[in-house]
Amino acid sequence: MSYRPLGDRKLLFVTGKGGVGKTTIAASLATIYARTGRRVLLVGVDQRSDLGTMFGVDGLTFEPKVVQPNLHLMVLETEASLREYLKINLRIPVVTKLGPLAAALDFVATAAPGVREILTIGKVCYEVRESNFDLVVVDAPATGHVVGYLSAPQAINSFVRVGLIRGQTDWMVDILHRADVTGVVAVTTPEEMPVTETGQLLARLAADTEVKVAGVIMNRMPEPLAIGDDLTVAQAVSAGTHPTLRVTAAVRDASSLALIRRREAEEQFARLVSITGHAFPVITQPVVAVDDPATMVQRIADALADEVL
C-alpha cells in the first residue's frame, strides 16, 4: 500500500506518551525537511520545552529564531499569542501588559473549554494560512492532552454559532480537517504500555476530532541481532546448544537478552500495525545511543530521512 509522505502537508502535530521521545522526533522531522530547502517552523507549545537543547540554543521566545539553515524555532506564550490575536484579528493595538484582559481570559478559559487552546493552535494555523513557512511542525502536547488541543476550534464552534469568534474558528477548522494540509504523527516505543496508549490515542482522534493521522513512528526499535543462517547460529549460541561454538556465559546471556528484546519489539510492532489497520504508515526508528541531544537529532534525521521523504 502506498502512503502520502509525512511532509506532503503544511502542518504536522507530533505527539506521544511522555518519555517516548516525541520532542526529539519532532526536532528530527523539522531538520529533515529543512535540509531539503523548505522553510520550516518548529513550534514548542510549552515554554518549558526542551527544543532549545536539541539545537544548542537558549532563550527561545514567541519570535521565531533561526537555528539552522531554513529552520526556525519558537515556543508559544499565552500572553504573546493573545496580543497577536487581538492585533491581527480584532484590530486592537496592544502596547502594554494585558493585565485585566489576561485575568479575564483566565476566567473565560475556565468557563469555556477550548478558549486557551484556541490561542496556541490559532497561532500555528495562522502561519499555515499566511504561508509564512512551507511546513510547520508542532511539538504538541502529550497523548493525554492533545485531543482536547486539536478539537478546540470545533469545540468553540459547537456553542458559538455566529459572529466574529465563529468566523475566526471556521478557518482554523478548515485547515485542521484537511488531510492534505494537516496530519498527526504519533510517536511510541516497542513496549506494551506505550503501544496501548497509542492505540487509545488513535481511537480518540478518530472519535472526537476530524484531524487525520499522518503516521506513527515507533522510536527506539532494537536492531536485529542477526538474520537468516546467522540468526539460527545466534539462537543456538544463546541457548548453549551450538554443536561447535563455545562462548562465555556473559556472551551467551547478552545474545539471549538481545534476541528477547528484538522478539518482544517485533511483537509490539505487529500489534501496532494491527491497531492501525494499515490506514497510515508505521515507521521504525532504531535506537540512537548518544548523550548529546543536538547530535542525537542529527543522527535520527539521517536515519529517518528515507522513510519520511
85 belongs to a structural domain: yes
DSSP per position, 256-272 = HHHHHHHHHHHHHHHHH
Residue 210, burial from CB neighbour count under 10 angstroms (0-12, 13-18, 19+): middle
147 belongs to a structural domain: yes
CB 211 within 8 A of CB 182: yes
20 belongs to a structural domain: yes
Residue 92, burial from CB neighbour count under 10 angstroms (0-12, 13-18, 19+): exposed
**Residue 15 DSSP class:** E
Find cell 486592537 and name the residue.
Answer: 92
Report the pLDDT value the prediction gives residue 157, as an integer from 0 to 100: 65
Question: Strands across the sheet with 40-44, in order?
Answer: 65-68, 71-75, 40-44, 135-139, 11-16, 182-188, 213-221, 282-286
DSSP per position, 42-65 = EEESSTT-SHHHHTT-----SS-E
248 belongs to a structural domain: no
246 belongs to a structural domain: no
143 belongs to a structural domain: yes
53 belongs to a structural domain: yes
- Looking up residue 163, the CATH number of its domain turns out to be 3.40.50.300
Question: How many domains does the structure of the chain reveal?
Answer: 1
Find cell 536515519 and name the residue.
Answer: 303
Mean pLDDT, each 10-residue run in order, the chain (309 residues)? 90 96 97 98 86 91 94 82 59 49 47 64 91 97 91 73 59 94 98 97 96 98 74 67 72 77 93 96 94 95 95
Report the pLDDT value the prediction gives residue 98, as an integer from 0 to 100: 45
Report the pLDDT value the prediction gives residue 234, as an integer from 0 to 100: 63
Q: Which residues contact 276 (CB under 8 A, 6 or more apart)?
A: 202, 213, 216, 282
185 belongs to a structural domain: yes
Question: What range defines the domain where residue 137 resides?
Answer: 11-222+272-308
Report the pLDDT value the prediction gives residue 95, as an integer from 0 to 100: 47
